[in-house]
Amino acid sequence: MSIQAITKIVAPTERDVVLKIEGLGVRYPEMEEGTYTVRGVDLELVKGTIHGLMGESGCGKSTAALASIAFRRSHEIITGKALFEGKDLFAYTDTELLSLWGGKVAYVAQSAFQALNPSLTIGRQIDQVLRTHTQLNRSEITARILSLLSDMGVPLPEQAIKRYPFQFSGGQLQRVALALALACRPQVLILDEPTTGLDVTTQEVISALLKKIAQDDGISILYISHDLALLKSIANYISVMYAGQIVESGVAHKVLETPKHPYTRLLVGITPKFSDSRLIPGIPGAPPPHSVLDSCAFAPRCEHARPTCEAGAIPLVAKDNCNIRCIRVNDIPSTPPEGSSLARPITSSDEPLLIVDQLELRYPGATFLSIDKLSFKLMRGERVAIVGESGSGKSSVLRVIAGISAASDGYLSFDNRRLGLVTNRSKQLCSSIQLIFQNADSSLNPKHTVRKLMRRSLTLFRPEVKQSSYDRCILSMLSLIGLPERVLDVSPSALSGGQRQRVAIGRCFLAEPQLVLCDEITSALDVSVQASVMTLLAELTAANGASVIFVSHDLPVVRAFADRVIVMRKGKVVEIGTSDEIFHRPQHPYTQSLIAAVPDF
Q: What is the pLDDT of residues 383-418, one digit of tens each?
A: 999 999 878 889 999 999 999 999 999 999 999 999
Q: Which amino acid is at 303?
A: E
pLDDT band at 1 (very low <50, low <70, confident <90, very high): very low
DSSP one-letter string for 250-286: EEHHHHHHS--SHHHHHHHHHS-BTTB--BPPPPSS-
Q: Is the residue at 306 inside a domain?
A: no
Q: What is the pLDDT of residue 384?
A: 96
Q: What is the pLDDT of residue 366?
A: 79
Query: Where in the sequence is the domain holding 451, given as residue range(s)?
Result: 352-597
Average confidence (pLDDT) over 244-273: 91
3-state secondary structure 170-192: HHHHHHHHHHHHHCCCCCEEEEE
Q: What's the Cα-to-Cα distance from 107 to each of 103, 333, 453, 497, rounded to whole Å? A: 10, 39, 33, 21
Q: What is the pLDDT of residue 144?
A: 96
Q: Which helix (H) or strand (E) holds 529?
A: helix 527-544
Cβ count within 10 A of residue 544: 13
Task: Using the predicted structure, report yes or no on whether residue 2 has a pLDDT greater than 50.
Answer: no
- 362 lies in the same domain as 246: no
Three-state secondary-structure class, residue 80: strand
Give dist(CA 393, CA 410) in Å, integer.
15
Give dist(CA 297, CA 243) in Å, integer.
7
- 97 lies in the same domain as 244: yes
Q: Given 233, 259, 285, which residue is the final one in a domain? A: 259
Q: What is the pLDDT of residue 346?
A: 67
For 161-186, the pLDDT digits (tens) are 999 998 887 678 888 998 999 999 99
Give dist(CA 148, CA 142) in Å, integer.
10
For 134-156, the pLDDT digits (tens) are 999 999 999 999 999 998 888 89
Average confidence (pLDDT) over 577-585: 92
Count of CA atoms in the C-beta half-sphere (13 A) of 305: 15
140: CB partners within 8 A, 6+ apart: none
- 390 lies in the same domain as 253: no
Give the number of domains in the chain: 2
Per the prediction, the chain carries an average pLDDT of 88
Average confidence (pLDDT) over 544-549: 92
CB 599 within 8 A of CB 269: no
Average confidence (pLDDT) over 5-11: 40
- 444 lies in the same domain as 556: yes
Average confidence (pLDDT) over 109-127: 88
For 351-383, the pLDDT digits (tens) are 899 999 999 999 887 788 999 999 999 999 999
Average confidence (pLDDT) over 468-481: 91
Q: What is the pLDDT of residue 20?
A: 95
pLDDT band at 44 (very low <50, low <70, confident <90, very high): very high
Q: What is the pLDDT of residue 568?
A: 95
Least confident range of 246-250, 478-482, 510-514: 478-482
Q: Is the residue at 2 inside a domain?
A: no
3-state secondary structure 577-596: EEHHHHHHCCCCHHHHHHHH
- 228 lies in the same domain as 376: no
155: CB partners within 8 A, 6+ apart: 172, 391
Q: Is the residue at 578 inside a domain?
A: yes
Q: Is the residue at 305 inside a domain?
A: no
DSSP one-letter string for 298-326: TGGG-TT--GGGGSS----EEETTEEE--
CATH classification at residue 529: 3.40.50.300
* Nearest alpha-carbon partner for 333 in 270, 240, 260, 281: 260
- 86 lies in the same domain as 206: yes
Q: Is the residue at 1 inside a domain?
A: no
Q: Given 230, 259, 288, which residue is the final one in a domain? A: 259
Q: What percent of the chain lies above the pLDDT cut of 70? A: 95
Task: Using the predicted structure, report yes or no on whether residue 105 has a pLDDT greater than 70.
Answer: yes
Q: What is the pLDDT of residue 7?
A: 34
- 85 lies in the same domain as 225: yes
Q: What is the pLDDT of residue 10?
A: 43
- 356 lies in the same domain as 253: no
CB 49 within 8 A of CB 237: yes
Cβ count within 10 A of residue 599: 21
469: CB partners within 8 A, 6+ apart: none
**CA-based R_g, the chain, Å:** 24
Q: What is the pLDDT of residue 13?
A: 60
- 249 lies in the same domain as 384: no
Give dist(CA 370, CA 366) in Å, integer.
9
Give dist(CA 1, CA 430) in Å, integer.
44
Average confidence (pLDDT) over 32-43: 91
For 48-95, the pLDDT digits (tens) are 999 999 998 888 899 999 999 999 877 789 999 999 988 999 999 999
Q: What percent of the chain lies above the pLDDT cut of 90? A: 58
For 227-252, the pLDDT digits (tens) are 888 899 899 999 999 999 999 999 99
Q: Given 234, 259, 284, which residue is the final one in a domain? A: 259
Q: What is the pLDDT of residue 306?
A: 92
pLDDT band at 461 (very low <50, low <70, confident <90, very high): very high
Q: Is the residue at 131 inside a domain?
A: yes
Q: Is the residue at 304 inside a domain?
A: no
Beta strand segments in 362-408, E? 371-379, 383-387
Average confidence (pLDDT) over 453-477: 93
Q: φ, ψ for residue 322 (rounded to 5)?
A: -125, 160
Q: Which amino acid is at 599?
A: P
Give dist(CA 466, CA 329) in Å, integer.
56
CB 317 within 8 A of CB 302: no
Task: Using the predicted structure, report yes or no on whether residue 499 has a pLDDT greater than 70.
Answer: yes
Average confidence (pLDDT) over 115-142: 94
Pairwise pLDDT comparison (379 vs 283), residue with the higher score: 379
Q: What is the pLDDT of residue 75?
A: 79
CB 528 within 8 A of CB 465: no
Q: Is the residue at 345 inside a domain?
A: no
For 188-204, the pLDDT digits (tens) are 999 998 877 677 887 88
- 85 lies in the same domain as 186: yes
